[in-house]
Structures are given as structure tokens and as C-alpha cells.
Amino acid sequence: MDLLKFTQTKKEDETSSKVIFKNTHIEVIESPYSYKVTVYDEIGLEAMHNTFQISPAKYKIVKSIEELEKFYEESVKDKQEGIMIKVLNKPYKAGKKVGYMYKMKPTSEDIDVVIVAAQRGVGKRGGYFSSFYVAIQNNQGELKTIGKVGSGVTESEGDELSIQKFTTLLTPLIEKVDSKTGITYFKPEIIIQVSYQDLQESQTTQSKYALRFPKVVALRNKDKRLEDITTLDEVLAQKNLPS
């Protein structure tokens, strides 16, 4: 799925409001991206509280992939099943695939990848490695990057997946630091298990694919060897894509 079409849309056209329910006691008007409920009397008030309730879900209009990822992660952390994504200027259509709406929820698909580079964080994460470039292997056993992951890494010292632990593990493996980008490159030894939501084509990764909404779920360098990490064909098979 190309998430860009959900976050880089043109400004929506204004549309007029319309009445979707009305009687002598209560009226519901649908405006662009919102509803207004008007109660005329005590009968309407009782109906609204007892039988006619509208509870809008938490929503956010996003303008970038980063904002979308953050909102998704916050929703899952808040014990929600996931989120619904919709292009702003398209109508809601229930029960059918329409090409501009997408349900996103956590997936059980996990892969084993190796950390090949990282960026240091800012603020509370300043000085620590907290965002990692990860790689899988192709059919020839060559490492190919498949994106960057930072979600799932904590700031709690002593935690198995803390920025402090990752920094301690990775520092002895530093091979070089790019002075222009600030990216630090490592000898590929630290293997992690990553879950991800989706896969999309990418021109910025060596594998030509990028994980969408990846999350670190476990350290695997004690029980996995470099040759054990996931292959590109295995990732493509998870998404029923041709290799």
C-alpha cells in the first residue's frame, strides 16, 4: 500500500452540510468531517442519552507519514485495535474496498534483521543510538537494507530494549561515521526481531522495499547468527508478492 496518497492529498473542497436525521425532538447535521447534534426538548435529550448516541472516535488529519506513524503508535499503545485511514475528500463507504480507505492494525508478521547503521537521538535520547537502519539478506547472502526502525525502543535504563543497552552493544562495533548525515555504521552483528504492518516499494533502500510501521520486539543476537536472518524472498512471501 502506498501511504503517501493518504498524507499528501490536496486541500479538500468545501461541501455543504446536509441533514441526515430530523424529527420534532432531535436533528443531526453532517458537515465536512464532523456531525452536529441539536436537541430541541427534554424528549430529544432523553433519546440522545438513552437510544441515540453519537460518540466520535479520536481522529487526526495528518500531512506526513511521520504524523501518521505517531498517531498509529499512540492508538495501539492506548489499547485500540488500530486505526482507519481515509483520504479527506472522499466519502465514507462501509463494507467494501474503495481504494482510498484502509484499516491498519498490529500484525503478527515478524522478521529477523541485523542493524547496519543508526542515528543518535535528540532531547531525552540525545547521545544514544535510538533509530536503526536494518538489513535482510538476498539469495546470495548479501545484506540489503529494508528501512529504519525506532519504535519499540525505550528510554528506561535496564530495559532489554533500552537505548542505553543498544548504545552499549553497538559502540564497540562502530566502523565509520558519516560527517554529513551523522549516520553511524556498524559491523553487522546485532540481530533484532522486528514486527511490521506493511511493505512498500522504496528507492532509498538497497532491497528496493521498506517496512511500514516497524517495531523492535526482541534482541536475537544471542540465539541467531547472521546467516539466520530473514531473506528478501521470505518477506515478499509474507505479503504474497512476487520474488
Q: Quick one: DSSP state of residue 73?
A: H
Task: Report strand pairing: 184-186 vs 101-104.
Answer: unpaired
Indicate if the alpha-carbon torsion angle 112, 117, 121, 125 is positive or negative: positive
Residue pair 115/170 in contact (Cβ under 8 Å)? The answer is: yes
- Could you tell me the three cell numbers for 104? 491498519
The model's pLDDT over 97-115, given as tens digits with 9 standing for 90+, comes to 667 787 777 666 899 999 9
Q: Is 49 a residue whose pLDDT tops 50?
A: yes
Say what the pLDDT of residue 93 is: 67
The model's pLDDT over 182-202, given as tens digits with 9 standing for 90+, comes to 999 999 999 999 999 889 999
Q: Provide the CA 85 distance to its chain's centre, in angstroms.
A: 12
Q: Topology of 110-238 in CATH? A: OB fold (Dihydrolipoamide Acetyltransferase, E2P) (2.40.50)
| Domain span(s) for CATH 2.40.50.140 in the chain | 110-238
pTM of the complete model: 0.62
Report the half-sphere exposure of 113 (CA within 13 A, side-chain side). Answer: 29
Mean pLDDT of 201-221: 93
At residue 49, what is the residue type?
H
* Least confident piece of the model among 18-32, 119-133, 136-150, 215-229: 18-32
- Could you tell me the three cell numbers for 101? 480507505
